[in-house]
């Protein structure tokens, strides 16, 4: 017999042999046993997960003369044998990618009312149905909605969103999911055993992970590697697929944890020189950081994408890393991945990301150690799991003083700001400097503003690094929030201090003229109400009386 690829040789012939789609299989079996077959089905999902295979099994089972108690075709009756040998006359498969016109659909419409030449049902399988033209979909609507009793339509597609809603509403829809990596690896293990091929479990797991949930892709890759290698070993599959080992990413992350940017960059350069793409290395490192986070947060999730012998290593290694280090590091890698789309120097983008990650711990190395009093005070328990500080680098130039110690990496930028202020305190600006900066702001922005009025009236106070401006009312405070940010940036620049803060408060007592304006407004309101002519005039013009702004 001529050689057949594994995807065809081991293609399921019954629902029992279908891999990784339990919901679809169970539903179709029950429909067959209860004789509740619909006239139209839509199978959708990614490539290579069993859509066309299940459609053929359903067509075979619908015409089977001796259906099993489980709802599978018997494979022994005349109808099943015709389906198995590819000579069934009551099955029509149409590839919509190449037959997508109105004429192709019209050919089906013209023959759908004819009784099947064999069996109970005439089954039409239309693959890649989303490729049909709009006119073809419209021509198909009426037939799909009310076909004759002997007709069953099974539509399959990888892009459900391209199928019109009028078609979707006429079909029973089945969502085919990507297969778990462990499920694919187990199926490959069974095929290797049947074929007498020596295959390492880790090698099969690597093939399954590379297929990204598609069983057909995994079988094609399996055949290719067997033809090249004969027996499948982990190292052989790694070299053949040109992917990096987990050990490589463990070495890079370990160097980054020890603040050793040089070793991480040298490792990266070696892999690039060996022919690996910078984007592939970056993606692998992102996956590695993700696995370390999963090992801390949800260790059971590791079984979905990592070979079994490396799962334990991740669980043992993950506690050595601060959770904040992994989160910030992953954020830096994601930013580098975004830049790779636009840069013409991808190697530089990855090298910059590695250097940033290596500096994450060192950024807070100068933070002072806690005082004895603080150390003696009780600590409030937090949800953060305590993580031992990372070891110091061996380079003398990077060693810190004995009085300083490493602290946990902050979780947000505001915490970074507070810690930097505590580590390197700056002298607050003098009152003269404040006065000069505020006066210059008034000169540049003009006198007719809320802030300029407050500054000219000395309606402000300075408290350390905070400037509190007093405005006439809460309404003025709300209107001036955006301007407060602008003033704060101006003062940071003029005072050469990065931590200046501007606050706004309502203080009507500092604006006695405001009360006079309010009294005048009340008098005008009473005058308007007492004068019908003025009231009519204002209504005609759609106007109102407003006091002059104090600014």
Which CATH number fits the domain that encloses residue 13?
3.40.50.300
Percentage of the chain surpassing pLDDT 70? Answer: 81
Q: Which pLDDT band, with edges at 50, 70 and 90, does 457 fall under?
A: confident
- Residue 275 near residue 242 (C-beta atoms within 8 A): yes
Over residues 482-502, the mean pLDDT reads: 81
**Strand 151-157 with 122-127, pairing:** parallel
Tell me: pLDDT of 193 over 70.
yes
- Residues 213, 268, single domain; the answer is no
The answer to the question of residue 398 being in a domain is no
- Residues 166, 266, single domain; the answer is no
472/187: higher pLDDT: 187
Give the helix/strand (H/E) hosting 469.
strand 466-471
Over residues 456-480, the mean pLDDT reads: 80
Over residues 513-521, the mean pLDDT reads: 61
- Residues 301, 351, single domain; the answer is yes
Tell me: pLDDT of 180 over 90.
no
Over residues 55-69, the mean pLDDT reads: 91
Tell me: pLDDT of 390 over 90.
no
500/545: higher pLDDT: 500
pLDDT of residue 489: 84
pLDDT of residue 364: 44
The answer to the question of residue 65 being in a domain is yes
- List strands edge to edge, sheet with 151-157: 91-95, 122-127, 151-157, 40-44, 172-175
- Residues 139, 236, single domain; the answer is no
Over residues 158-162, the mean pLDDT reads: 91
pLDDT of residue 448: 56
The answer to the question of residue 348 being in a domain is yes
Rounded distance between C-alpha atoms, residue 535 and residue 540, angstroms: 9
Over residues 260-272, the mean pLDDT reads: 86
**Residue 273: CATH number of its domain:** 1.20.272.10
- The count of structural domains within the chain is 4
Q: Which pLDDT band, with edges at 50, 70 and 90, does 125 fall under?
A: very high
The answer to the question of residue 517 being in a domain is no
Rounded distance between C-alpha atoms, residue 302 and residue 466, angstroms: 49
pLDDT of residue 249: 87
- Residues 215, 293, single domain; the answer is no
Q: Which of 206, 221, 241 is the last residue of a domain?
A: 241
The answer to the question of residue 161 being in a domain is yes
- Residues 120, 215, single domain; the answer is no
pLDDT of residue 451: 77
Rounded distance between C-alpha atoms, residue 319 and residue 29, angstroms: 47
Q: Which of 194, 210, 241 is the last residue of a domain?
A: 241
- Residues 59, 151, single domain; the answer is yes
Q: Which pLDDT band, with edges at 50, 70 and 90, does 219 fall under?
A: very high
Tell me: pLDDT of 210 over 70.
yes
pLDDT of residue 57: 93
The answer to the question of residue 412 being in a domain is no
Percentage of the chain surpassing pLDDT 90? Answer: 18
Closest CA to 206 of 238, 230, 229: 238
**Residue 227: CATH number of its domain:** 1.10.8.60
Radius of gyration of the chain (CA): 37
Secondary structure of residue 510 in the 3-state scheme: helix
The answer to the question of residue 519 being in a domain is no
- Residues 139, 126, single domain; the answer is yes
Tell me: pLDDT of 291 over 80.
yes
Q: Tell me what the pLDDT averaged over the chain comes to.
A: 80
Over residues 282-311, the mean pLDDT reads: 81
- Residues 155, 136, single domain; the answer is yes
pLDDT of residue 311: 82
Main-chain phi, psi angles of 187, to 5 degrees: -65, -40
- Residues 195, 337, single domain; the answer is no
The answer to the question of residue 549 being in a domain is no
Closest CA to 185 of 309, 291, 56, 316: 309
pLDDT of residue 384: 42
- Residue 318 near residue 292 (C-beta atoms within 8 A): yes
Domain that holds residue 55: 6-175
- Residues 171, 215, single domain; the answer is no
pLDDT of residue 124: 93
Over residues 107-133, the mean pLDDT reads: 90
Tell me: pLDDT of 378 over 50.
no
Q: Which of 241, 264, 287 is the last residue of a domain?
A: 241
Rounded distance between C-alpha atoms, residue 523 and residue 516, angstroms: 11
Tell me: pLDDT of 144 over 50.
yes
Count Cβ neighbours within 10 Å for each residue of 36-50 and write b for 16 or more, e otherwise. ebebbbbbbbbebbb
- Which residues have a Cβ under 8 Å from the Cβ of 21 and sit 6 or more positions away? 49, 50, 54, 176, 177
314/306: higher pLDDT: 314
Count Cβ neighbours within 10 Å for each residue of 486-524 and write b for 16 or more, e otherwise. ebeebbbebbeeebbebebeebeebbeebeebeeeeeee
pLDDT of residue 549: 42
The one-character DSSP state at 404 is B
pLDDT of residue 416: 56
Q: Render pLDDT for 82-93 as a digit per residue (tens, 0 to 9).
A: 998 888 888 999
pLDDT of residue 171: 92
- Residues 298, 353, single domain; the answer is yes
Tell me: pLDDT of 43 over 70.
yes
Over residues 249-264, the mean pLDDT reads: 86
């Amino acid at each position: 017999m001529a050689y057949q690829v594994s995807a065809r040789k081991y293609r399921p012939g019954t629902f029992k042999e279908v891999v990784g789609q339990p919901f679809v299989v169970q539903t179709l079996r029950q429909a067959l046993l209860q004789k509740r077959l619909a006239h139209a089905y839509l199978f959708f999902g990614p490539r290579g997960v069993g859509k066309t295979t299940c459609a053929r099994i359903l067509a075979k089972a619908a015409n089977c003369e001796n259906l099993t108690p489980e709802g599978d075709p018997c494979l022994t009756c005349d109808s099943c044998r015709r389906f198995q040998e590819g000579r069934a006359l009551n099955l029509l498969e149409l590839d919509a990618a190449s037959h997508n016109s109105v004429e192709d659909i019209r050919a089906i419409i013209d023959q759908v009312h004819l009784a099947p030449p064999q069996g109970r049902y005439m089954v039409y399988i239309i693959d890649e149905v989303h490729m049909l033209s709009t006119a073809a979909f419209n021509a198909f609507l009426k037939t799909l909605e009310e076909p004759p009793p002997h007709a069953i339509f099974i539509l399959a597609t990888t892009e459900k969103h391209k199928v019109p809603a009028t078609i979707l509403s006429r079909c029973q829809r089945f969502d085919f999911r990507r297969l778990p990596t462990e499920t694919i690896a187990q199926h490959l293990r069974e095929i290797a055993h049947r074929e007498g091929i020596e295959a390492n479990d880790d090698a099969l797991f690597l093939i399954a992970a590379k297929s990204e949930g598609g069983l057909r892709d995994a079988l094609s890759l399996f055949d290719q590697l067997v033809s090249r290698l004969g027996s499948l070993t982990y190292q052989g599959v790694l070299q053949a697929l040109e992917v990096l080992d987990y050990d490589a990413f463990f070495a890079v992350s370990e160097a980054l944890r020890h603040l050793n940017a040089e070793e991480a960059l040298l490792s990266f350069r070696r892999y690039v020189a060996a022919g690996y793409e910078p984007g592939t290395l970056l993606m692998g490192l992102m996956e590695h950081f993700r696995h370390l986070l999963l090992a801390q947060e949800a260790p059971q999730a590791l079984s979905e994408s990592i070979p079994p012998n490396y799962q334990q290593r991740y669980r043992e290694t993950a506690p050595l890393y601060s959770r904040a280090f992994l989160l910030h590091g992953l954020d830096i890698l994601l930013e580098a991945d975004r830049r790779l789309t636009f840069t013409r120097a991808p190697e530089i983008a990855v090298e910059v990301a590695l250097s940033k990650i290596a500096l994450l711990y060192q950024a807070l190395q100068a933070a002072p150690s806690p005082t004895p009093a603080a150390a003696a005070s009780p600590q409030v328990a937090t949800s953060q799991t305590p993580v031992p500080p990372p070891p110091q680098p061996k380079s003398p130039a990077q060693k810190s003083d004995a009085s300083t110690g490493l602290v946990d990496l902050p979780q947000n930028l505001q915490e970074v700001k507070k810690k930097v202020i505590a580590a390197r305190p700056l002298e607050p600006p003098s009152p003269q400097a404040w006065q000069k900066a505020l006066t210059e702001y008034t000169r540049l922005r003009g006198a007719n503003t809320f802030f300029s009025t407050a500054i000219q009236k000395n309606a402000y106070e300075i408290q350390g690094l905070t400037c509190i401006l007093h405005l006439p009312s809460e309404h003025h405070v709300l209107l001036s929030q955006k301007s407060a940010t602008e003033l704060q940036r101006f003062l940071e620049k003029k005072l050469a201090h990065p931590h200046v803060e501007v606050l706004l408060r309502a203080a009507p007592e500092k604006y006695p003229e405001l009360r006079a304006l309010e009294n005048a407004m009340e008098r005008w309101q009473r005058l308007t109400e007492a004068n019908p002519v003025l009231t009519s005039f204002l209504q005609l013009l759609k106007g109102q009386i407003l006091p002059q702004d104090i600014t």
